[in-house]
Amino acid sequence: MGTPQAPSSVPLAGFRAKRLGREIAAAAVVSLLALAGLSGSLEPLAVVAPARAQAAERIVAAGGVVTEVLYALGQQDKVVGVDTTSQWPPEALKEKKSVGYVRALSAEGVLSLKPSQIIAVEGAGPPDALALLRESGTPITMIPEALSPEAVVGKIAAIGKAAGVAEPAQQLAAAVKGRFQELDKLRSGLPGQKRVLFVLSLQNGRTMVGGRATTADAIIALAGGVNAASAVEGFKPMTDEAIITAAPDVILMMRHSSAHNAGPDELFAMPAFSQTPAAKQKALIRMDGLYLLGFGPRTPNAARDLMAELYPDAKIAQLSAAK
């Protein structure tokens, strides 16, 4: 995970100076156009314009799915900054400057990278930081965080369009759509539906779970399971009694986080889990967090892999459309 860079000071006076600079530049272009018209040739401008456009491509990606899509489209050279949720591909946080956590961005830190645009997931913030970024004149494209297969396909297309690579993005979106269609066929052939409880964290005797309208709820459904925490909405604490009543067949957790490191023996020794059907088989599945919950190009594959873990006897096939 990258180390946040110390933000440089970008006063509002600087924003006004940048606006003045743009106005002067625009006036200069008009003058050049006039001169070119008098001379009957626009060739010099044709040479200058592409160079200016190329130099202006500096994208700050705020949101793991934004970074993942830009890299999948081969646009990593345009990216100058990423947030700390941009953990795929792994080199993103190593190669690019970190602008902090997606919901706690520093406007000055972002602007210190001199971005030509910002592509951010819905929910990025805080609002004051976004307001300052808009005040600076930097274009911001917000990407909806909806969780359906159609929404994932739409996200890919929107990110590609914002980055100026709409056609390759449409091709990637079509490939991902094909994987979702294959996943539908695999799901229709399952023998039944297992009850899955997604546990976000176990801290201070409190079990935080993923209820309705969460990424966890959506990926469980895509994998052919039933969310055992459907009685709650969002990521909420769940009492021991409620967990026992929910009767999960499988516990699902993220991998690689200090807050989520309980092993099967430790987990199923806890009162809340020892009396569940999952305890009989010590049925605990761990998966990488961004892969599982990122809802980007890899989501059909993540759902397929979860399905294979949930239903080992079903011999779940690989997605043939996967690259």
For the chain, what is the largest distance between any 2 Cα atoms, rounded to a whole number of angstroms? Answer: 86
DSSP notation for 27-84: HHHHHHHHHHHHHT--HHHHHHHHHHHHHT--EEEESHHHHHHHHHTT-GGGEEEE-T
C-alpha separations of 212 from 72, 227, 228 in Å: 30, 8, 10
**Does position 5 have pLDDT exceeding 60, yes or no?**
no
The pLDDT of 216-242, averaged and rounded, is: 97
SS3 annotation, 262-320: CCHHHHCCCHHHHCCHHHHHCCEEEEEHHHHHCCCCCHHHHHHHHHHHHCHHHCCCCCC
Cα 72 from Cα 251, distance rounded (Å): 31
Say what the pLDDT of residue 145 is: 87
DSSP at 96: S
Q: Which two tokens stand for residue 299?
A: 């989501």
The pLDDT of 296-302, averaged and rounded, is: 96
97 contacts: CB under 8 Å, gap ≥ 6: 2, 5, 80, 81, 82, 113
Q: Which two tokens stand for residue 286?
A: 């761990």
Q: 203: pLDDT confidence band, cut at 50, 70 and 90? A: confident
**Does position 9 have pLDDT exceeding 50, yes or no?**
no
220 contacts: CB under 8 Å, gap ≥ 6: 196, 198, 226, 227, 252, 306
For 296, half-sphere exposure in the C-beta direction (CA atoms, 13 angstrom radius) is 25
The amino acid occupying position 92 is A
Cα 53 from Cα 69, distance rounded (Å): 22
C-alpha separations of 314 from 33, 100, 134, 192, 251 in Å: 68, 42, 51, 10, 19
pTM for the model: 0.79
* Core vs surface per residue 224-238: b (16+ CB within 10 A) or e: bbebbbeebeebbeb
Say what the pLDDT of residue 163 is: 96
Count of other CB atoms within 10 angstroms of residue 281 = 11
Q: 321: pLDDT confidence band, cut at 50, 70 and 90? A: low
Say what the pLDDT of residue 49 is: 37
Say what the pLDDT of residue 320 is: 80
Say what the pLDDT of residue 242 is: 97
Strands 206-210 and 195-203: antiparallel
Name the average pLDDT for the chain. 85
